[in-house]
Structure 1
Amino acid sequence: MARQRVASQQFSGPDALANPLSERLGQTMLVITVMIGVLASINAVFIVWATVLDARRSSAVARALGADAGQVSASLVYAQAIPVTVGALLGIPGGMALFTGVGKGGPAHLPSPVVLPAVVVGTIALISLLTSFPARAGARRPVAEVLQAEAA
């Protein structure tokens, strides 16, 4: 009898019961989204570290010609921030198109237009912050040591 009552209840409308499947799906999607965000942040740090290692010689030459460590690390941060900005700006319409194409029949809604620019700015700020640590570490190596190691 209880099973018939639950089966006859509606999962939409003002008197609706909570749909346990959609609640569980929402929790699962949140966990997957957080995991992807953490993985992307770690990936960004390793990409910057590889960029710092690749740019050792050119950074050392720039420092030998008068640039300080702050200018060298800022150039590496800007070099990473430009593609992030392009990706974030292209990702918003791409994500909205994907959401509209895939999300048929679900009760989900697109995010507020106020939130989207905040996401772009937050993404650029986060990547710039994550980029600054390896860039500063690489820019602080002595110029003579880098140039001698590259010549050998």
Structure 2
Amino acid sequence: MKTVALITSAAVAAMMTVPAMAEDHQVQMLNKDSEGRPMQFEPAFLKIAPGDTVTFVPTDKGHNSESVIIPEEAEAWKGKISQEITVTFDEEGFYAYKCLPHVAMGMVGLIQVGDDPEPLDDAAVQKLPGKAKTRMAELIAEADAKTTE
């Protein structure tokens, strides 16, 4: 009986120390999104937990994903054209990213890691080219709306 109790106690203790499983999210790199907008990431805005990963999938060829504005302690990334890349997001904050060949056409995205991140550096957002700046403003508004829900 003591053996069963000991094994049960050990199993319960082991389960309590296992961290929650990180999720993998997928972002498609597209010539046209489901709303008909050209050169887009879909979804363009994600809210994820620290430790989650995002896989950027080149559904349509000729795209990449690379970081533009990230938290100070975070690690930058730069995917190759037409190549899948998986990025792990450990630091809380906002991560703005772009498709290098199509950033001028507004192909940018935003990832919110955690529930209460610091706002994006507005000066850095203002340096994005025209359509990218406009699209990023839309994504920031979407993030703000989801934070207040």
TM surpasses 0.5: no
TM-score range, shorter chain: under 0.3
Larger radius of gyration: 1
Question: TM-score, length-normalised on structure 1?
Answer: 0.25
* Greater fraction of residues in strand: 2
Question: TM-score, length-normalised on structure 2?
Answer: 0.25
* Greater fraction of residues in helix: 1
More RCO (CA 8 Å, sep 6+) = 1
